[in-house]
Amino acid sequence: MTSRVVINQWQTPEDAREAGWNALVGAEDFFLSPDWMRVLQDSAGAWMGYLTARTDDGLQAALPMVRATLDSPWSLGRTDLLVRHCADEGMDGAAEVLAGFGDMERLMPSMMGGGRHLGRTRLMLSPGAGPETAHRILEEAERVAAAEGCRSVCLPYVDATDGVQRAVLHERGYLAHESGQFASLTLPGEGFMDYALALPARRSRRVRSERRHIEASDVRITLAPLDPADIPRLGALETRLFAKYGMTSWDPKRSEAVLTAAAERLGDRALVAKAVLDGSIVGFGLVLAHGDSWFAHRAGFDYEAVGKLPLYYELLYYTLADHAPRHGVKTVHYGIGSTDAKVSRGCSLSAQYLYVKEIG
């Protein structure tokens, strides 16, 4: 006899944690953990909710939700803008989905399911949970979305390997298209030199040359827990990065809000690789620790001060390769975007798919 599935909705990540949420959080699910959800709830200024599905055998499924509106500043985490972006980038199936909906504003507000982080958003399922449980919790997510005034439900970055979820979303009438390639780096050996020598010969020579270039400069590189005193400067640097890639309206206060919440909620699990020149921070990369993995999350640079120094690679790859062994870290996850650069530094890729369904 099949156990009855009980669906519950929780208002805070702490409530979800008490309901057993962490039992479903896997090695690659840092951005679905209650600690990170609290960071978002503290900083996003958006409605958030948490669904769980339980049977007599325990917790079977969990799904975070966040309500995106036309005012939400998430260019790659908001249904209307993400579909347009994917179509502009020529991602498989995106142009057809865009043409099918026409006016993308008809989908807004949109309930983002499985998180709005850039890669591997998902409905978390226990090993014993099957399609019926996935159907039940997604049905409830659609009901909640309608009650919150949403016109669509979207899971923006479902991994290609997530077979049960993809099949159930298809059965429920969701349309899908490619939305990116998730990049991860498995670190070989112990430290930078082992990492560099594991790359193809030509790339290895270039990487070692870039490291020597950094070492010959006046820039000082460190990796340490996020210092709240640095947050205004880090927010300004991230804003410069966004401006370089066309996001000229970004408010650095948004960056500061996330960084402040991360420092308060994560403590020494929020690490910053930092480049300092003449007493001023000229570049940074934020990495978040979860088990034996790091998740690269934010970065920023003073491009005038940096010049041609390869600080992006130094802070997000070479410094991390050096420090990973002493932290017990074996994998760094980089998410989506800048695919060629990530592959050139040894990352492997996994395709991501957006699923969207109009409701109401």
Q: What's phi and psi for 201, nearest 5 deg?
A: -55, -50
Q: Which residues contact 133 (CB under 8 A, 6 or more apart)?
A: 5, 53, 55, 60, 61, 125
What is the tens place of the pLDDT at every residue in 62-91?
Answer: 999 999 999 998 888 999 999 999 999 999
Among residues of the chain, what percentage have pLDDT more than 90? Answer: 92
What is the tens place of the pLDDT at every residue in 113-136?
Answer: 998 888 999 999 999 999 999 999
CA distance 298 to 27: 20
Q: Selecting from 1.10.8.100, 3.30.1060.10, 3.90.1580.10, 3.40.630.30, what CATH number does the domain 188-329 have?
A: 3.40.630.30
pLDDT at residue 189 greater than cutoff 90? no
CA distance 152 to 129: 25
pLDDT at residue 1 greater than cutoff 80? no
The answer to whether 238 and 299 have CB atoms below 8 angstroms apart is yes
Q: What's phi and psi for 221, nearest 5 deg?
A: -110, 135
Q: Which helix (H) or strand (E) holds 50?
A: strand 48-55
Of 343, 336, 297, 338, nearest to 320 by C-alpha is 297
Task: Provide the sign of the torsion angle of the four alpha carbons 351, 76, 170, 166, taken in this order.
Answer: positive
Residue 95, pLDDT score? 98
Domains 6-180+352-358 and 188-329 share a fold: yes
Residue 305, pLDDT score? 93
Give the 3-state secondary structure percentages of the chain, helix then strand then coil, rounded to 5: 45, 30, 30
Q: How far apart are the first and last CA of the chain?
A: 35
Burial bucket for residue 202 (CB in 10 Å: 0-12, 13-18, 19+): exposed
What is the tens place of the pLDDT at every residue in 237-266?
Answer: 999 999 998 888 889 999 999 999 999 999
Of 54, 20, 21, nearest to 36 by C-alpha is 21
Find out if CATH 3.40.50.1100 is the number for domain 6-180+352-358: no
> Which of the pair, 329 or 189, is modelled with greater confidence?
329
The answer to whether 299 and 255 have CB atoms below 8 angstroms apart is no
pLDDT at residue 43 greater than cutoff 50? yes
Residue extents of the structural domains in the chain: 6-180+352-358, 188-329
Total-model pTM: 0.94
pLDDT at residue 2 greater than cutoff 70? no
Residue 73, pLDDT score? 86
The answer to whether 234 and 284 have CB atoms below 8 angstroms apart is yes
Q: Which helix (H) or strand (E) holds 152?
A: strand 152-159
Of 175, 166, 173, 155, nearest to 114 by C-alpha is 155
Residue 218, pLDDT score? 97
pLDDT at residue 3 greater than cutoff 80? no
pLDDT at residue 60 greater than cutoff 60? yes
CA distance 348 to 221: 26
Strands (E), 212-360: 220-225, 270-277, 280-290, 293-301, 331-335, 348-358
Burial bucket for residue 156 (CB in 10 Å: 0-12, 13-18, 19+): buried
Q: Are strands 152-159 and 175-186 parallel, antiparallel or unpaired?
A: unpaired
Which 8-state DSSP code applies to residue 24? Answer: G
Q: Average pLDDT of 290-298?
A: 97
CA distance 239 to 52: 36
Task: Provide the sign of the torsion angle of the four alpha carbons 12, 26, 134, 20, taken in this order.
Answer: negative
What is the tens place of the pLDDT at every residue in 199-248?
Answer: 999 999 999 999 999 999 999 999 999 999 999 999 999 999 999 988 88
Distances 217 to 38, 107, 191, 220 between C-alpha atoms, Å: 39, 50, 21, 8
Q: Average pLDDT of 14-18?
A: 98
Q: Average pLDDT of 279-289?
A: 98
